[in-house]
């Protein structure tokens, strides 16, 4: 039992961070981001329209592409632990916009809950970084 507690207090945290990063990051890459990147400008314009909830009404296709890119490449970077903090920041902002969209459309907290939960996950990752098993540690000594 003592060995388990020592592991959980030490390396276990890095393994936990790796599991969370890889799982959520790969889901964002493959399930959310990649299909939106592949879908093209018509979907990007529809996605980018959500920026209107923040008072930004110009270039919806650009904002939609940026959203898709954040989910696709940000998810991949988070999974790899590469530039984790900036990638997590883009994803957290993306999910803030999604939360705002759900609430503005009066869909309620239940509809917005997935975006809210993921937003807080990425905010936490912004603060924690990639952990010992991320590429940030190998390439940048953990600065990102």
- Inter-axis angle of helices 108-128 and 84-104, nearest 10: 170
Asked whether residue 37 is domain-assigned, the answer is yes
Q: How far apart are the C-alpha atoms of 121 and 136, rounded to whole Å?
A: 19
Domain containing 81 equals 19-140
Residue 14 lies in a domain: no
pTM beyond 0.75: the answer is yes
pLDDT tens per residue, range 67-92: 999 999 999 999 999 999 999 999 99
Residue at 2 is within a domain: no
99 found inside a domain: yes
Q: Is 8 among the domain residues?
A: no
Tell how far CA 81 is from the center of its chain: 12
Q: Residues 8-40: pLDDT tens digits?
A: 777 788 999 999 999 999 999 999 999 999 999
Whether 13 is covered by a domain: the verdict is no
Considering its fold, how many domains does the chain have in total?
Answer: 1
């Amino acid at each position: 039992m003592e060995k388990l507690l020592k592991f959980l207090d030490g390396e276990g945290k890095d393994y936990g961070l790796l599991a969370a990063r890889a799982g959520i990051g790969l889901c964002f890459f493959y399930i959310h981001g990649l299909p939106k990147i592949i879908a093209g400008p018509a979907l990007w314009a529809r996605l980018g329209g959500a920026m209107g909830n923040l008072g930004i009404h110009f270039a919806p296709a650009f904002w939609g592409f940026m959203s898709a890119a954040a989910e696709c490449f940000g998810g991949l970077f988070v999974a790899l632990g590469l530039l984790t903090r900036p990638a997590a920041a883009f994803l957290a902002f993306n999910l803030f916009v999604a939360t705002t969209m759900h609430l503005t459309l009066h869909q309620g907290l239940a509809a917005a809950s997935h975006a809210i939960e993921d937003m807080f996950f990425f905010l936490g990752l912004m603060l924690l970084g990639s952990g010992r098993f991320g590429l940030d540690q190998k390439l940048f000594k953990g600065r990102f």
